[in-house]
Structure 1
Amino acid sequence: MPRRSPALDRATPGAIAEAALWILDEEGPGALSFRALAERLDVSHATVQRRCVDLAGLLDLCTEHLAARLPDIPPTADWAEATELRFSAFYRLLVAHPGLLVLRGGRPWLGRQLLARLVEPALADSVAAGMSAAEAMTAYRRMYLLTLGSAAFVDHRDPAGATAASRAALAALDPAGFPVLSAGIADVLPALTDHEVYYGALRQLIEAARPAAS
Protein backbone atom coordinates (compact mmCIF):
# COMPACT_ATOMS: atom_id res chain seq x y z
CA MET A 1 0.00 0.00 0.00
CA PRO A 2 1.48 3.41 -0.98
CA ARG A 3 2.39 5.68 1.90
CA ARG A 4 0.00 8.59 2.46
CA SER A 5 1.43 12.08 2.53
CA PRO A 6 0.36 14.10 5.60
CA ALA A 7 0.99 17.28 3.60
CA LEU A 8 -1.34 16.19 0.79
CA ASP A 9 -3.91 15.15 3.38
CA ARG A 10 -3.88 18.72 4.73
CA ALA A 11 -3.76 20.32 1.29
CA THR A 12 -6.98 18.84 -0.06
CA PRO A 13 -8.70 20.74 -2.88
CA GLY A 14 -11.34 21.92 -0.41
CA ALA A 15 -8.78 23.08 2.14
CA ILE A 16 -6.78 24.93 -0.52
CA ALA A 17 -9.91 26.64 -1.83
CA GLU A 18 -11.01 27.68 1.67
CA ALA A 19 -7.55 29.01 2.49
CA ALA A 20 -7.31 30.90 -0.81
CA LEU A 21 -10.75 32.45 -0.34
CA TRP A 22 -9.83 33.50 3.21
CA ILE A 23 -6.71 35.26 1.92
CA LEU A 24 -8.68 36.93 -0.87
CA ASP A 25 -11.44 38.08 1.47
CA GLU A 26 -9.30 39.19 4.40
CA GLU A 27 -6.08 40.42 2.76
CA GLY A 28 -7.05 41.14 -0.85
CA PRO A 29 -6.13 39.65 -4.24
CA GLY A 30 -2.57 40.99 -4.06
CA ALA A 31 -1.84 38.76 -1.07
CA LEU A 32 -2.73 35.47 -2.76
CA SER A 33 0.24 33.30 -3.72
CA PHE A 34 1.26 29.67 -3.48
CA ARG A 35 3.70 30.65 -0.75
CA ALA A 36 0.98 32.35 1.30
CA LEU A 37 -1.27 29.32 0.86
CA ALA A 38 1.54 26.95 1.88
CA GLU A 39 2.16 28.92 5.06
CA ARG A 40 -1.53 28.97 5.96
CA LEU A 41 -1.90 25.23 5.38
CA ASP A 42 1.48 24.39 6.94
CA VAL A 43 2.69 22.55 3.85
CA SER A 44 5.38 23.18 1.26
CA HIS A 45 5.05 25.45 -1.74
CA ALA A 46 5.51 22.38 -3.95
CA THR A 47 2.59 20.58 -2.29
CA VAL A 48 0.20 23.39 -3.17
CA GLN A 49 1.56 23.56 -6.70
CA ARG A 50 1.04 19.82 -7.17
CA ARG A 51 -2.66 20.35 -6.47
CA CYS A 52 -3.18 23.50 -8.55
CA VAL A 53 -0.33 23.65 -11.11
CA ASP A 54 -0.70 27.43 -11.62
CA LEU A 55 -2.76 30.47 -10.62
CA ALA A 56 -5.45 29.68 -13.20
CA GLY A 57 -5.83 26.21 -11.70
CA LEU A 58 -6.08 27.69 -8.22
CA LEU A 59 -8.81 30.13 -9.28
CA ASP A 60 -10.72 27.34 -10.98
CA LEU A 61 -10.46 25.32 -7.78
CA CYS A 62 -11.95 28.22 -5.80
CA THR A 63 -14.73 28.70 -8.35
CA GLU A 64 -15.69 25.02 -8.24
CA HIS A 65 -15.63 25.06 -4.44
CA LEU A 66 -18.09 27.95 -4.38
CA ALA A 67 -20.28 26.57 -7.16
CA ALA A 68 -20.84 23.41 -5.12
CA ARG A 69 -22.75 25.60 -2.64
CA LEU A 70 -25.37 26.63 -5.18
CA PRO A 71 -28.79 25.38 -4.05
CA ASP A 72 -30.89 22.64 -5.50
CA ILE A 73 -34.09 24.20 -6.80
CA PRO A 74 -37.36 22.44 -5.90
CA PRO A 75 -38.88 20.74 -8.94
CA THR A 76 -42.21 22.34 -8.03
CA ALA A 77 -40.88 25.86 -8.65
CA ASP A 78 -42.18 27.44 -11.84
CA TRP A 79 -39.73 28.69 -14.46
CA ALA A 80 -39.57 32.32 -13.31
CA GLU A 81 -39.19 31.41 -9.63
CA ALA A 82 -36.50 28.79 -10.33
CA THR A 83 -34.58 31.19 -12.56
CA GLU A 84 -34.60 33.96 -9.95
CA LEU A 85 -33.54 31.56 -7.20
CA ARG A 86 -30.61 30.25 -9.25
CA PHE A 87 -29.19 33.58 -10.34
CA SER A 88 -29.80 35.28 -7.00
CA ALA A 89 -27.82 32.53 -5.28
CA PHE A 90 -25.01 32.88 -7.83
CA TYR A 91 -24.97 36.65 -7.30
CA ARG A 92 -24.68 36.28 -3.52
CA LEU A 93 -21.71 33.94 -3.91
CA LEU A 94 -19.96 36.39 -6.20
CA VAL A 95 -20.47 39.52 -4.11
CA ALA A 96 -19.19 37.66 -1.04
CA HIS A 97 -15.80 37.12 -2.73
CA PRO A 98 -14.83 40.20 -4.77
CA GLY A 99 -11.14 39.32 -4.73
CA LEU A 100 -11.84 36.16 -6.71
CA LEU A 101 -13.70 38.20 -9.31
CA VAL A 102 -10.76 40.60 -9.63
CA LEU A 103 -8.26 37.82 -10.29
CA ARG A 104 -10.48 35.81 -12.62
CA GLY A 105 -11.10 38.82 -14.84
CA GLY A 106 -12.60 37.66 -18.12
CA ARG A 107 -11.86 33.96 -17.61
CA PRO A 108 -14.96 31.85 -18.38
CA TRP A 109 -16.76 30.14 -15.50
CA LEU A 110 -17.01 26.65 -17.00
CA GLY A 111 -16.16 24.25 -14.20
CA ARG A 112 -18.12 21.04 -13.81
CA GLN A 113 -19.88 22.15 -10.61
CA LEU A 114 -21.10 25.42 -12.13
CA LEU A 115 -22.22 23.67 -15.30
CA ALA A 116 -24.05 21.01 -13.29
CA ARG A 117 -25.63 23.26 -10.65
CA LEU A 118 -26.42 26.41 -12.67
CA VAL A 119 -25.99 26.19 -16.43
CA GLU A 120 -27.46 22.77 -17.25
CA PRO A 121 -30.52 23.01 -14.97
CA ALA A 122 -31.24 26.58 -16.07
CA LEU A 123 -31.15 25.59 -19.74
CA ALA A 124 -33.12 22.39 -19.11
CA ASP A 125 -35.85 24.31 -17.29
CA SER A 126 -36.07 26.86 -20.10
CA VAL A 127 -36.36 24.19 -22.77
CA ALA A 128 -38.97 22.33 -20.70
CA ALA A 129 -40.90 25.59 -20.37
CA GLY A 130 -41.12 25.96 -24.14
CA MET A 131 -37.96 27.72 -25.32
CA SER A 132 -35.75 26.47 -28.11
CA ALA A 133 -32.17 25.66 -27.14
CA ALA A 134 -31.01 28.91 -28.78
CA GLU A 135 -33.61 30.97 -26.93
CA ALA A 136 -32.69 29.29 -23.65
CA MET A 137 -28.99 30.04 -24.14
CA THR A 138 -29.69 33.68 -25.05
CA ALA A 139 -31.82 34.18 -21.94
CA TYR A 140 -29.22 32.46 -19.77
CA ARG A 141 -26.40 34.54 -21.22
CA ARG A 142 -28.20 37.81 -20.56
CA MET A 143 -28.84 36.91 -16.93
CA TYR A 144 -25.33 35.55 -16.47
CA LEU A 145 -23.74 38.76 -17.80
CA LEU A 146 -26.02 40.89 -15.63
CA THR A 147 -25.09 38.85 -12.58
CA LEU A 148 -21.36 38.81 -13.21
CA GLY A 149 -21.23 42.50 -14.12
CA SER A 150 -23.33 43.57 -11.15
CA ALA A 151 -21.12 41.64 -8.75
CA ALA A 152 -17.85 42.84 -10.29
CA PHE A 153 -18.82 46.49 -10.67
CA VAL A 154 -18.28 47.40 -7.01
CA ASP A 155 -16.90 45.77 -3.87
CA HIS A 156 -20.16 45.07 -2.08
CA ARG A 157 -18.26 43.98 1.02
CA ASP A 158 -17.18 47.61 1.48
CA PRO A 159 -20.13 49.74 0.31
CA ALA A 160 -19.03 52.72 2.40
CA GLY A 161 -15.61 52.72 0.74
CA ALA A 162 -17.11 52.35 -2.73
CA THR A 163 -19.52 55.21 -2.06
CA ALA A 164 -16.78 57.46 -0.69
CA ALA A 165 -14.51 56.85 -3.70
CA SER A 166 -17.36 57.51 -6.13
CA ARG A 167 -18.39 60.65 -4.24
CA ALA A 168 -14.85 62.01 -4.43
CA ALA A 169 -14.63 61.29 -8.16
CA LEU A 170 -17.98 62.95 -8.91
CA ALA A 171 -17.23 65.95 -6.71
CA ALA A 172 -14.09 66.63 -8.74
CA LEU A 173 -16.05 66.95 -12.00
CA ASP A 174 -16.56 70.29 -13.68
CA PRO A 175 -20.28 71.10 -13.31
CA ALA A 176 -20.25 72.80 -16.71
CA GLY A 177 -19.28 69.57 -18.44
CA PHE A 178 -21.21 67.18 -16.17
CA PRO A 179 -24.30 69.06 -14.98
CA VAL A 180 -26.44 66.00 -14.19
CA LEU A 181 -23.75 64.09 -12.29
CA SER A 182 -22.59 67.17 -10.40
CA ALA A 183 -26.07 68.27 -9.35
CA GLY A 184 -27.38 64.80 -8.59
CA ILE A 185 -24.62 63.23 -6.52
CA ALA A 186 -26.98 62.48 -3.63
CA ASP A 187 -29.34 60.67 -6.00
CA VAL A 188 -26.69 58.88 -8.06
CA LEU A 189 -24.59 57.36 -5.27
CA PRO A 190 -27.14 55.09 -3.52
CA ALA A 191 -27.76 53.08 -6.69
CA LEU A 192 -24.08 52.12 -6.90
CA THR A 193 -24.26 49.71 -3.96
CA ASP A 194 -27.97 48.93 -3.84
CA HIS A 195 -28.51 45.20 -4.36
CA GLU A 196 -32.09 45.90 -5.39
CA VAL A 197 -30.77 47.42 -8.62
CA TYR A 198 -29.52 43.95 -9.55
CA TYR A 199 -32.59 42.08 -8.35
CA GLY A 200 -34.90 44.47 -10.18
CA ALA A 201 -32.95 44.14 -13.42
CA LEU A 202 -32.91 40.34 -13.05
CA ARG A 203 -36.68 40.25 -12.66
CA GLN A 204 -37.08 42.43 -15.75
CA LEU A 205 -34.93 40.04 -17.79
CA ILE A 206 -36.88 37.07 -16.45
CA GLU A 207 -40.20 38.66 -17.35
CA ALA A 208 -38.97 39.59 -20.82
CA ALA A 209 -37.76 36.03 -21.46
CA ARG A 210 -40.70 34.23 -19.85
CA PRO A 211 -41.86 31.44 -22.20
CA ALA A 212 -45.51 31.55 -23.10
CA ALA A 213 -45.86 27.90 -22.12
CA SER A 214 -44.76 28.65 -18.54
Structure 2
Amino acid sequence: MPRRSAALDRATPEAIAVAALRLIDEEGPAALSFRALADRLEVSHATVQRRCTDLAGLMDLCTEHLAARLPEIPAGTDWAEATEQRFGALYRLLTAHPGLLVLRGGRPWLGRQLLARLVEPALADSVAAGMSRAEAVTVYRRMYLLTLGCAAFVDHRDPTGATAASRAALAALDPAEFPVLGGDPAELLPALTDHEVYYGALRQLIAAARPTG
Protein backbone atom coordinates (compact mmCIF):
# COMPACT_ATOMS: atom_id res chain seq x y z
CA MET A 1 0.00 0.00 0.00
CA PRO A 2 1.50 3.40 -0.95
CA ARG A 3 2.35 5.70 1.93
CA ARG A 4 0.15 8.75 2.42
CA SER A 5 1.88 12.12 2.30
CA ALA A 6 1.56 14.08 5.55
CA ALA A 7 1.88 17.29 3.55
CA LEU A 8 -0.98 16.34 1.23
CA ASP A 9 -3.06 15.39 4.27
CA ARG A 10 -2.58 18.92 5.61
CA ALA A 11 -3.03 20.61 2.23
CA THR A 12 -6.51 19.31 1.48
CA PRO A 13 -8.59 21.26 -1.04
CA GLU A 14 -10.71 22.56 1.86
CA ALA A 15 -7.67 23.65 3.88
CA ILE A 16 -6.15 25.36 0.85
CA ALA A 17 -9.37 27.26 0.13
CA VAL A 18 -9.77 28.40 3.74
CA ALA A 19 -6.13 29.52 3.97
CA ALA A 20 -6.26 31.28 0.60
CA LEU A 21 -9.42 33.21 1.46
CA ARG A 22 -7.98 34.21 4.82
CA LEU A 23 -4.79 35.41 3.14
CA ILE A 24 -6.74 37.44 0.57
CA ASP A 25 -9.00 38.94 3.24
CA GLU A 26 -6.16 39.85 5.60
CA GLU A 27 -3.48 41.04 3.18
CA GLY A 28 -5.27 41.75 -0.08
CA PRO A 29 -5.37 39.89 -3.41
CA ALA A 30 -1.84 40.96 -4.37
CA ALA A 31 -0.45 38.96 -1.43
CA LEU A 32 -1.72 35.62 -2.71
CA SER A 33 0.86 33.25 -4.13
CA PHE A 34 1.53 29.55 -3.91
CA ARG A 35 4.56 30.25 -1.73
CA ALA A 36 2.65 32.48 0.70
CA LEU A 37 -0.09 29.86 0.88
CA ALA A 38 2.42 27.07 1.41
CA ASP A 39 3.97 29.00 4.30
CA ARG A 40 0.59 29.30 5.98
CA LEU A 41 -0.12 25.61 5.56
CA GLU A 42 3.46 24.64 6.51
CA VAL A 43 3.92 22.60 3.37
CA SER A 44 6.03 23.00 0.26
CA HIS A 45 5.19 25.20 -2.70
CA ALA A 46 5.09 22.03 -4.84
CA THR A 47 2.48 20.43 -2.55
CA VAL A 48 0.07 23.33 -3.04
CA GLN A 49 0.70 23.31 -6.77
CA ARG A 50 -0.05 19.59 -6.97
CA ARG A 51 -3.51 20.31 -5.57
CA CYS A 52 -4.28 23.40 -7.68
CA THR A 53 -2.02 23.28 -10.77
CA ASP A 54 -2.31 27.06 -11.32
CA LEU A 55 -3.99 30.23 -10.06
CA ALA A 56 -7.18 29.40 -11.96
CA GLY A 57 -7.36 26.06 -10.15
CA LEU A 58 -6.80 27.79 -6.82
CA MET A 59 -9.62 30.25 -7.55
CA ASP A 60 -11.88 27.34 -8.40
CA LEU A 61 -11.15 25.74 -5.02
CA CYS A 62 -11.99 28.99 -3.26
CA THR A 63 -15.22 29.64 -5.12
CA GLU A 64 -16.40 26.06 -4.71
CA HIS A 65 -15.69 26.31 -0.98
CA LEU A 66 -17.92 29.39 -0.78
CA ALA A 67 -20.61 27.97 -3.04
CA ALA A 68 -21.00 24.99 -0.71
CA ARG A 69 -22.31 27.47 1.87
CA LEU A 70 -25.18 28.68 -0.32
CA PRO A 71 -28.56 27.73 1.15
CA GLU A 72 -30.78 24.97 -0.10
CA ILE A 73 -34.22 26.54 -0.53
CA PRO A 74 -37.13 24.29 0.56
CA ALA A 75 -39.35 22.97 -2.21
CA GLY A 76 -42.56 24.91 -2.57
CA THR A 77 -41.05 28.27 -1.62
CA ASP A 78 -42.60 31.17 -3.52
CA TRP A 79 -40.58 31.93 -6.66
CA ALA A 80 -39.85 35.55 -5.75
CA GLU A 81 -38.86 34.70 -2.18
CA ALA A 82 -36.63 31.82 -3.28
CA THR A 83 -34.94 34.00 -5.89
CA GLU A 84 -34.21 36.77 -3.40
CA GLN A 85 -32.87 34.26 -0.87
CA ARG A 86 -30.54 32.66 -3.41
CA PHE A 87 -29.04 35.82 -4.85
CA GLY A 88 -28.97 37.61 -1.52
CA ALA A 89 -26.91 34.75 -0.10
CA LEU A 90 -24.51 34.92 -3.04
CA TYR A 91 -24.15 38.69 -2.58
CA ARG A 92 -23.30 38.29 1.11
CA LEU A 93 -20.66 35.67 0.35
CA LEU A 94 -19.03 37.82 -2.33
CA THR A 95 -19.05 41.06 -0.33
CA ALA A 96 -17.37 39.19 2.52
CA HIS A 97 -14.47 38.28 0.20
CA PRO A 98 -14.03 41.13 -2.32
CA GLY A 99 -10.44 40.18 -3.10
CA LEU A 100 -11.63 36.91 -4.60
CA LEU A 101 -13.62 38.79 -7.23
CA VAL A 102 -10.54 40.83 -8.12
CA LEU A 103 -8.50 37.69 -8.71
CA ARG A 104 -11.19 35.85 -10.66
CA GLY A 105 -11.66 38.77 -13.04
CA GLY A 106 -13.99 37.78 -15.85
CA ARG A 107 -13.45 34.03 -15.55
CA PRO A 108 -16.73 32.11 -15.47
CA TRP A 109 -17.69 30.33 -12.27
CA LEU A 110 -18.84 26.89 -13.39
CA GLY A 111 -17.95 24.68 -10.45
CA ARG A 112 -20.28 21.87 -9.44
CA GLN A 113 -21.26 23.43 -6.12
CA LEU A 114 -22.44 26.68 -7.70
CA LEU A 115 -24.25 24.84 -10.48
CA ALA A 116 -25.96 22.52 -7.98
CA ARG A 117 -26.79 25.06 -5.28
CA LEU A 118 -27.62 28.17 -7.31
CA VAL A 119 -27.82 27.81 -11.09
CA GLU A 120 -29.77 24.57 -11.53
CA PRO A 121 -32.34 25.17 -8.76
CA ALA A 122 -32.86 28.79 -9.84
CA LEU A 123 -33.47 27.76 -13.44
CA ALA A 124 -35.64 24.80 -12.40
CA ASP A 125 -37.83 27.05 -10.23
CA SER A 126 -38.24 29.54 -13.07
CA VAL A 127 -39.20 26.82 -15.55
CA ALA A 128 -41.65 25.33 -13.03
CA ALA A 129 -43.15 28.80 -12.59
CA GLY A 130 -43.92 29.00 -16.31
CA MET A 131 -40.82 30.40 -18.01
CA SER A 132 -39.16 28.82 -21.02
CA ARG A 133 -35.56 27.69 -20.54
CA ALA A 134 -34.37 30.69 -22.57
CA GLU A 135 -36.40 33.09 -20.42
CA ALA A 136 -35.14 31.43 -17.24
CA VAL A 137 -31.51 31.81 -18.33
CA THR A 138 -32.04 35.47 -19.24
CA VAL A 139 -33.63 36.23 -15.85
CA TYR A 140 -30.86 34.36 -14.04
CA ARG A 141 -28.17 36.19 -16.00
CA ARG A 142 -29.58 39.62 -15.16
CA MET A 143 -29.66 38.89 -11.45
CA TYR A 144 -26.26 37.22 -11.47
CA LEU A 145 -24.61 40.19 -13.20
CA LEU A 146 -26.31 42.62 -10.83
CA THR A 147 -24.99 40.63 -7.88
CA LEU A 148 -21.43 40.44 -9.22
CA GLY A 149 -21.35 44.14 -10.10
CA CYS A 150 -22.70 45.34 -6.75
CA ALA A 151 -20.28 43.09 -4.89
CA ALA A 152 -17.22 43.93 -6.98
CA PHE A 153 -17.15 47.69 -7.24
CA VAL A 154 -17.13 48.60 -3.54
CA ASP A 155 -15.10 46.99 -0.76
CA HIS A 156 -17.97 46.49 1.65
CA ARG A 157 -15.57 45.28 4.33
CA ASP A 158 -14.19 48.85 4.46
CA PRO A 159 -17.11 51.21 3.81
CA THR A 160 -15.35 54.04 5.64
CA GLY A 161 -12.35 53.80 3.31
CA ALA A 162 -14.57 53.58 0.23
CA THR A 163 -16.53 56.65 1.33
CA ALA A 164 -13.37 58.63 2.13
CA ALA A 165 -11.83 57.87 -1.28
CA SER A 166 -15.02 58.88 -3.08
CA ARG A 167 -15.34 62.06 -1.01
CA ALA A 168 -11.78 63.07 -1.93
CA ALA A 169 -12.45 62.44 -5.62
CA LEU A 170 -15.66 64.48 -5.56
CA ALA A 171 -14.01 67.33 -3.68
CA ALA A 172 -11.45 67.69 -6.48
CA LEU A 173 -14.14 68.32 -9.11
CA ASP A 174 -14.97 71.76 -10.43
CA PRO A 175 -18.69 72.37 -9.65
CA ALA A 176 -18.96 74.49 -12.79
CA GLU A 177 -18.03 71.47 -14.91
CA PHE A 178 -19.73 68.85 -12.73
CA PRO A 179 -22.78 70.58 -11.24
CA VAL A 180 -24.31 67.35 -9.91
CA LEU A 181 -21.20 65.48 -8.80
CA GLY A 182 -19.61 68.67 -7.51
CA GLY A 183 -22.49 69.44 -5.18
CA ASP A 184 -22.87 68.44 -1.53
CA PRO A 185 -21.24 64.97 -1.23
CA ALA A 186 -23.44 64.15 1.76
CA GLU A 187 -26.29 63.61 -0.71
CA LEU A 188 -24.30 61.27 -2.94
CA LEU A 189 -21.99 59.21 -0.75
CA PRO A 190 -24.41 57.10 1.34
CA ALA A 191 -25.66 55.22 -1.73
CA LEU A 192 -22.13 54.02 -2.54
CA THR A 193 -21.95 51.61 0.38
CA ASP A 194 -25.62 51.05 1.17
CA HIS A 195 -26.49 47.37 0.74
CA GLU A 196 -30.10 48.35 0.20
CA VAL A 197 -29.12 49.71 -3.22
CA TYR A 198 -28.42 46.11 -4.23
CA TYR A 199 -31.45 44.59 -2.55
CA GLY A 200 -33.75 47.25 -3.99
CA ALA A 201 -32.44 46.63 -7.50
CA LEU A 202 -32.72 42.85 -7.03
CA ARG A 203 -36.35 43.18 -5.92
CA GLN A 204 -37.11 45.34 -8.94
CA LEU A 205 -35.68 42.69 -11.26
CA ILE A 206 -37.63 39.98 -9.46
CA ALA A 207 -40.88 41.95 -9.70
CA ALA A 208 -40.33 42.62 -13.39
CA ALA A 209 -39.51 38.97 -14.16
CA ARG A 210 -42.07 37.28 -11.94
CA PRO A 211 -44.12 34.81 -13.96
CA THR A 212 -47.80 35.70 -14.20
CA GLY A 213 -49.07 32.17 -14.58
Q: What does the per-residue CA deviation read over 1:87-139, in whole Å, with 9 as the maximum and x for residues that have no partner?
A: 00000000000110111111111111101100000000000000000110000
**Aligned counterpart, 2:30:** 30
SS of residue matched to 1:183: coil
SS of residue matched to 1:197: helix
**Aligned counterpart, 2:145:** 145
Q: What does the per-residue CA deviation read over 1:71-92, in whole Å, with 9 as the maximum and x for residues that have no partner?
A: 0001131100000000000000
RMSD: 0.6
- Number of equivalenced pairs: 213
In structure 2, the gaps of 5 or more residues are none
1:210 aligned onto 2:210: yes
Shift of 1:184: 3.4
Q: What does the per-residue CA deviation read over 1:28-61, in whole Å, with 9 as the maximum and x for residues that have no partner?
A: 0011000011000000000000000001110111
Letter in 2 for 1:108: P
Q: What does the per-residue CA deviation read over 1:2-28, in whole Å, with 9 as the maximum and x for residues that have no partner?
A: 110000000000000000000000010
| Counterparts of 2:130 and 2:212, CA distance in 1 | 7
| Counterparts of 2:131 and 2:76, CA distance in 1 | 19
**Aligned counterpart, 2:99:** 99
Using the size of structure 1 for normalisation, the TM-score is 0.99
SS of residue matched to 2:15: helix
In structure 1, the gaps of 5 or more residues are none
**Aligned counterpart, 2:180:** 180
**Aligned counterpart, 1:16:** 16
Superposition pairs for residues 2-151 of structure 1, below 5 Å? 2-151=2-151
Q: Which moved more, 1:13-22 or 1:69-78?
A: 69-78
SS of residue matched to 2:189: helix
Shift of 1:185: 1.2
Letter in 2 for 1:152: A
Letter in 2 for 1:81: E
Shift of 1:196: 0.2
Q: What does the per-residue CA deviation read over 1:172-198, in whole Å, with 9 as the maximum and x for residues that have no partner?
A: 001111011111311110000000000
SS of residue matched to 2:197: helix
